[in-house]
Amino acid sequence: MVSHDAWLQSDLVKELKVLAYALWDKGWGERNAGNISVRLNPQQMAEWGVAEMASTQWYDLPKPVPALAGQHMLMTASGAFMRHVKENPEQDLGLVRFSEDGSQFTPIAGYAGGGRPSSEMITHLLVHAERQDKGQSVIVHTHADWLLLMSHLHDQSSEAFTKTLWRMCSESLMFFPDGVGVVPWMLPGSLAIGEASGELAKTHRLILWAFHGVLAAGDSLDDAFGLIETAEKAAMIYCQGKMAGRDLPGISDAQIVSLGKHLGVTPIYELDGR
Protein backbone atom coordinates (compact mmCIF):
# COMPACT_ATOMS: atom_id res chain seq x y z
CA MET A 1 0.00 0.00 0.00
CA VAL A 2 1.34 3.40 -0.97
CA SER A 3 1.18 5.91 1.87
CA HIS A 4 -1.33 8.69 1.13
CA ASP A 5 1.34 11.34 1.58
CA ALA A 6 4.08 9.60 -0.45
CA TRP A 7 4.03 12.59 -2.80
CA LEU A 8 4.71 14.98 0.09
CA GLN A 9 7.71 12.88 1.17
CA SER A 10 9.09 12.60 -2.38
CA ASP A 11 12.41 13.90 -3.68
CA LEU A 12 10.52 16.13 -6.08
CA VAL A 13 8.67 17.91 -3.28
CA LYS A 14 11.91 18.19 -1.26
CA GLU A 15 13.54 19.85 -4.26
CA LEU A 16 10.53 22.07 -4.84
CA LYS A 17 10.59 23.35 -1.25
CA VAL A 18 14.24 24.33 -1.67
CA LEU A 19 13.52 26.03 -4.97
CA ALA A 20 10.50 27.94 -3.64
CA TYR A 21 12.61 29.28 -0.77
CA ALA A 22 15.42 30.18 -3.19
CA LEU A 23 12.96 32.22 -5.28
CA TRP A 24 12.07 34.20 -2.18
CA ASP A 25 15.72 34.46 -1.13
CA LYS A 26 16.57 35.94 -4.52
CA GLY A 27 14.01 38.66 -3.84
CA TRP A 28 11.83 37.43 -6.71
CA GLY A 29 9.01 36.05 -4.56
CA GLU A 30 7.62 38.93 -2.55
CA ARG A 31 4.46 37.96 -0.67
CA ASN A 32 2.75 35.24 -2.78
CA ALA A 33 4.55 36.12 -6.02
CA GLY A 34 5.39 33.20 -8.27
CA ASN A 35 4.08 29.71 -8.92
CA ILE A 36 5.48 26.33 -9.94
CA SER A 37 4.00 23.34 -11.77
CA VAL A 38 5.33 19.90 -12.69
CA ARG A 39 3.68 17.36 -15.05
CA LEU A 40 3.88 13.98 -13.36
CA ASN A 41 5.70 11.12 -15.07
CA PRO A 42 4.66 7.43 -14.92
CA GLN A 43 7.19 6.67 -12.17
CA GLN A 44 5.84 9.42 -9.90
CA MET A 45 2.28 8.32 -10.69
CA ALA A 46 3.10 4.75 -9.61
CA GLU A 47 5.24 5.60 -6.57
CA TRP A 48 2.73 8.10 -5.20
CA GLY A 49 -0.36 6.00 -6.01
CA VAL A 50 -1.84 8.89 -7.99
CA ALA A 51 -4.28 6.79 -10.03
CA GLU A 52 -5.93 5.64 -6.78
CA MET A 53 -6.45 9.18 -5.46
CA ALA A 54 -10.12 10.13 -5.62
CA SER A 55 -11.31 13.03 -7.74
CA THR A 56 -13.01 15.80 -5.76
CA GLN A 57 -15.00 18.59 -7.35
CA TRP A 58 -14.48 19.13 -11.09
CA TYR A 59 -13.94 22.70 -12.30
CA ASP A 60 -14.08 24.00 -15.87
CA LEU A 61 -10.84 25.38 -17.28
CA PRO A 62 -11.22 28.77 -18.98
CA LYS A 63 -10.38 26.88 -22.16
CA PRO A 64 -9.96 23.13 -22.85
CA VAL A 65 -6.36 21.94 -23.10
CA PRO A 66 -6.69 18.60 -24.92
CA ALA A 67 -2.90 18.10 -24.98
CA LEU A 68 -3.03 17.52 -21.21
CA ALA A 69 -6.14 15.31 -21.19
CA GLY A 70 -5.95 12.63 -18.49
CA GLN A 71 -2.62 13.93 -17.15
CA HIS A 72 -1.74 14.87 -13.57
CA MET A 73 0.21 17.83 -12.23
CA LEU A 74 1.78 19.12 -9.05
CA MET A 75 1.08 22.85 -8.67
CA THR A 76 1.57 25.51 -6.02
CA ALA A 77 -1.58 26.90 -4.43
CA SER A 78 -2.94 30.33 -5.22
CA GLY A 79 -1.76 32.73 -2.54
CA ALA A 80 1.11 30.47 -1.39
CA PHE A 81 4.14 32.38 -0.11
CA MET A 82 7.25 30.82 -1.72
CA ARG A 83 9.04 31.51 1.56
CA HIS A 84 6.66 29.22 3.44
CA VAL A 85 6.18 26.25 1.09
CA LYS A 86 8.79 24.29 3.04
CA GLU A 87 6.80 24.66 6.26
CA ASN A 88 3.31 24.21 4.82
CA PRO A 89 3.60 21.87 1.84
CA GLU A 90 0.20 20.24 2.31
CA GLN A 91 -1.44 23.68 2.20
CA ASP A 92 0.79 25.39 -0.37
CA LEU A 93 1.03 22.47 -2.82
CA GLY A 94 -1.46 20.10 -4.39
CA LEU A 95 -2.03 17.57 -7.12
CA VAL A 96 -4.58 18.03 -9.88
CA ARG A 97 -6.06 15.65 -12.45
CA PHE A 98 -7.28 16.74 -15.88
CA SER A 99 -10.42 15.24 -17.40
CA GLU A 100 -10.31 12.85 -20.35
CA ASP A 101 -11.26 15.67 -22.73
CA GLY A 102 -8.90 18.22 -21.12
CA SER A 103 -11.71 20.68 -20.35
CA GLN A 104 -11.79 20.29 -16.54
CA PHE A 105 -9.55 19.73 -13.54
CA THR A 106 -10.08 18.30 -10.08
CA PRO A 107 -7.81 18.64 -7.02
CA ILE A 108 -6.87 15.15 -5.75
CA ALA A 109 -4.40 15.94 -2.93
CA GLY A 110 -3.02 18.88 -0.95
CA TYR A 111 -4.49 22.40 -1.00
CA ALA A 112 -5.37 21.81 2.67
CA GLY A 113 -7.73 24.35 4.21
CA GLY A 114 -9.74 24.98 1.06
CA GLY A 115 -6.97 26.20 -1.22
CA ARG A 116 -6.93 26.12 -5.01
CA PRO A 117 -4.22 25.82 -7.64
CA SER A 118 -2.39 28.97 -8.75
CA SER A 119 -4.37 31.77 -10.39
CA GLU A 120 -1.89 31.44 -13.28
CA MET A 121 -2.93 27.82 -13.91
CA ILE A 122 -4.22 28.40 -17.45
CA THR A 123 -0.88 29.90 -18.51
CA HIS A 124 1.00 26.96 -17.02
CA LEU A 125 -1.27 24.54 -18.89
CA LEU A 126 -1.05 26.29 -22.25
CA VAL A 127 2.75 26.47 -21.95
CA HIS A 128 3.04 22.82 -20.84
CA ALA A 129 0.90 21.88 -23.84
CA GLU A 130 3.51 23.43 -26.16
CA ARG A 131 6.62 22.24 -24.33
CA GLN A 132 5.77 18.64 -23.36
CA ASP A 133 6.90 17.19 -26.70
CA LYS A 134 10.16 19.12 -26.37
CA GLY A 135 10.99 17.33 -23.13
CA GLN A 136 10.01 19.92 -20.53
CA SER A 137 7.82 18.98 -17.57
CA VAL A 138 8.42 21.93 -15.22
CA ILE A 139 7.27 25.54 -15.33
CA VAL A 140 8.45 28.20 -12.93
CA HIS A 141 6.97 31.70 -12.82
CA THR A 142 8.65 34.35 -10.66
CA HIS A 143 9.01 38.12 -10.40
CA ALA A 144 12.71 38.43 -11.30
CA ASP A 145 13.74 42.03 -10.56
CA TRP A 146 16.09 42.95 -13.36
CA LEU A 147 14.10 41.31 -16.14
CA LEU A 148 11.05 43.15 -14.83
CA LEU A 149 12.95 46.45 -14.77
CA MET A 150 14.38 45.80 -18.23
CA SER A 151 10.82 45.44 -19.59
CA HIS A 152 10.37 49.12 -18.61
CA LEU A 153 13.64 50.28 -20.14
CA HIS A 154 13.85 48.27 -23.35
CA ASP A 155 11.96 47.75 -26.59
CA GLN A 156 9.51 44.93 -25.85
CA SER A 157 9.88 43.06 -29.15
CA SER A 158 11.04 39.50 -28.48
CA GLU A 159 13.79 39.79 -31.06
CA ALA A 160 15.26 43.08 -29.84
CA PHE A 161 14.98 42.02 -26.18
CA THR A 162 16.62 38.65 -26.83
CA LYS A 163 19.49 40.11 -28.84
CA THR A 164 20.28 42.60 -26.09
CA LEU A 165 20.43 39.77 -23.51
CA TRP A 166 22.69 37.72 -25.80
CA ARG A 167 25.02 40.73 -26.09
CA MET A 168 25.38 41.21 -22.34
CA CYS A 169 27.32 38.01 -21.54
CA SER A 170 28.51 34.83 -23.27
CA GLU A 171 26.35 32.43 -21.30
CA SER A 172 23.08 33.95 -22.58
CA LEU A 173 23.37 32.39 -26.03
CA MET A 174 24.65 29.18 -24.48
CA PHE A 175 21.52 28.69 -22.37
CA PHE A 176 18.80 30.39 -24.35
CA PRO A 177 19.62 30.28 -28.06
CA ASP A 178 15.84 30.04 -28.50
CA GLY A 179 15.50 33.50 -26.97
CA VAL A 180 13.01 35.20 -24.70
CA GLY A 181 9.44 35.70 -25.86
CA VAL A 182 8.01 38.98 -24.58
CA VAL A 183 4.31 39.37 -23.78
CA PRO A 184 3.18 43.00 -23.47
CA TRP A 185 1.45 43.90 -20.20
CA MET A 186 -1.75 41.89 -19.76
CA LEU A 187 -4.05 41.02 -16.89
CA PRO A 188 -2.41 38.51 -14.54
CA GLY A 189 -4.25 35.19 -14.40
CA SER A 190 -6.20 35.91 -17.59
CA LEU A 191 -6.82 33.57 -20.48
CA ALA A 192 -5.33 36.25 -22.75
CA ILE A 193 -1.93 36.16 -20.99
CA GLY A 194 -2.11 32.36 -21.10
CA GLU A 195 -2.83 32.26 -24.82
CA ALA A 196 -0.11 34.81 -25.61
CA SER A 197 2.37 32.80 -23.52
CA GLY A 198 1.32 29.51 -25.13
CA GLU A 199 1.88 31.03 -28.58
CA LEU A 200 5.39 32.20 -27.65
CA ALA A 201 6.14 28.84 -25.98
CA LYS A 202 6.02 27.22 -29.43
CA THR A 203 9.45 28.75 -30.03
CA HIS A 204 10.74 29.98 -26.65
CA ARG A 205 11.47 28.28 -23.34
CA LEU A 206 11.65 31.63 -21.54
CA ILE A 207 8.76 34.08 -21.54
CA LEU A 208 8.79 37.55 -20.07
CA TRP A 209 5.59 39.23 -18.96
CA ALA A 210 6.23 42.96 -19.26
CA PHE A 211 5.98 44.85 -15.95
CA HIS A 212 5.24 41.57 -14.13
CA GLY A 213 7.72 38.69 -14.23
CA VAL A 214 9.17 35.76 -16.10
CA LEU A 215 8.19 32.17 -16.85
CA ALA A 216 10.55 29.34 -17.77
CA ALA A 217 9.95 25.80 -18.97
CA GLY A 218 12.57 23.28 -17.87
CA ASP A 219 13.44 19.59 -17.96
CA SER A 220 13.77 19.82 -14.16
CA LEU A 221 13.23 22.38 -11.40
CA ASP A 222 16.94 23.23 -11.50
CA ASP A 223 16.88 23.61 -15.26
CA ALA A 224 13.97 26.10 -15.18
CA PHE A 225 15.53 28.03 -12.27
CA GLY A 226 18.94 28.07 -13.96
CA LEU A 227 17.43 29.46 -17.14
CA ILE A 228 15.82 32.32 -15.23
CA GLU A 229 19.05 33.03 -13.31
CA THR A 230 20.99 33.23 -16.56
CA ALA A 231 18.60 35.67 -18.22
CA GLU A 232 18.30 37.66 -15.00
CA LYS A 233 22.10 38.10 -14.83
CA ALA A 234 22.16 39.45 -18.40
CA ALA A 235 19.23 41.78 -17.63
CA MET A 236 21.06 43.04 -14.53
CA ILE A 237 24.13 43.91 -16.62
CA TYR A 238 21.94 45.78 -19.11
CA CYS A 239 20.05 47.71 -16.42
CA GLN A 240 23.16 48.59 -14.41
CA GLY A 241 24.75 49.86 -17.63
CA LYS A 242 21.69 52.06 -18.20
CA MET A 243 21.88 53.28 -14.60
CA ALA A 244 25.50 54.26 -15.23
CA GLY A 245 24.27 56.26 -18.23
CA ARG A 246 25.62 53.82 -20.79
CA ASP A 247 24.06 51.62 -23.48
CA LEU A 248 26.49 48.74 -23.33
CA PRO A 249 27.29 47.56 -26.86
CA GLY A 250 28.48 44.19 -25.56
CA ILE A 251 29.18 41.19 -27.76
CA SER A 252 28.94 42.03 -31.47
CA ASP A 253 26.63 40.20 -33.87
CA ALA A 254 29.63 38.66 -35.63
CA GLN A 255 30.94 37.44 -32.27
CA ILE A 256 27.53 35.99 -31.39
CA VAL A 257 27.52 34.08 -34.69
CA SER A 258 30.97 32.66 -33.96
CA LEU A 259 29.96 31.86 -30.36
CA GLY A 260 26.95 29.93 -31.70
CA LYS A 261 29.19 27.89 -34.00
CA HIS A 262 31.62 27.27 -31.16
CA LEU A 263 28.83 26.08 -28.84
CA GLY A 264 26.96 24.16 -31.53
CA VAL A 265 23.76 26.17 -31.00
CA THR A 266 21.71 28.06 -33.55
CA PRO A 267 20.47 31.50 -32.51
CA ILE A 268 16.73 31.74 -33.17
CA TYR A 269 17.13 35.22 -34.70
CA GLU A 270 19.38 36.23 -37.55
CA LEU A 271 22.24 38.53 -36.72
CA ASP A 272 23.29 41.14 -39.19
CA GLY A 273 27.03 41.15 -38.49
CA ARG A 274 27.06 44.71 -37.20
Per CB under 5 A, does 29 bind Zn ion? Answer: no
Q: What are φ and ψ of residue 16, in 5° steps? A: -65, -40
- Select 207 or 237, whichever has its Cβ closest to ligand 13P: 207
Give the count of residues interacting with Zn ion (CB under 5 A): 1
- Select 34 or 267, whichever has its Cβ closest to ligand 13P: 34
Round to whole Å and give the CA distance between 122 and 193: 9
Using CA of residue 36, residue 37, residue 43, residue 44, what is the dihedral sign?
Answer: positive
Pick from Zn ion, ligand 13P, none: which does 119 bind, CB < 5 to 8 A by kind? ligand 13P
Q: How far is the CB of 76 from ligand 13P (least distance, A)?
A: 6
Q: Strands, E, within the chain: which ranges?
A: 35-39, 59-60, 72-76, 93-98, 104-110, 138-142, 180-183, 206-209, 213-218
Per CB under 5 A, does 250 bind Zn ion? Answer: no
Per CB under 5 A, does 110 bind Zn ion? Answer: no
Report which residue type is found at 185: W
Q: How far is the CB of 65 from Zn ion (least distance, A)?
A: 20
Round to whole Å and give the CA distance between 208 and 210: 6
Q: Rule CB under 6 A: which residues touch ligand 13P? A: 32-35, 76, 78-80, 118-120, 141, 188
- Select 79 or 273, whichever has its Cβ closest to ligand 13P: 79
Contact 250, 168 (CB under 8 A): yes
Q: How far is the CB of 95 from ligand 13P (least distance, A)?
A: 16
Round to whole Å and give the CA distance between 100 and 2: 25
- Select 32 or 136, whichever has its Cβ closest to Zn ion: 32
Which residue in 126, 85, 127, 89 sits closest to 109, CA to CA?
89
Which residues between 179 and 218 bind Zn ion (CB under 5 A)? Answer: 213
- Select 141 or 204, whichever has its Cβ closest to ligand 13P: 141
Catalytic annotation on 120? Answer: yes
Which residue in 85, 71, 70 sits closest to 34, CA to CA?
85
Q: How far is the CB of 51 from Zn ion (least distance, A)?
A: 32
- Given the residues 120, 130, 229, 232, select the one marked as catalytic: 120
Residues with active-site annotation: 120
Interface residue list for Zn ion (CB under 5 A)? 213
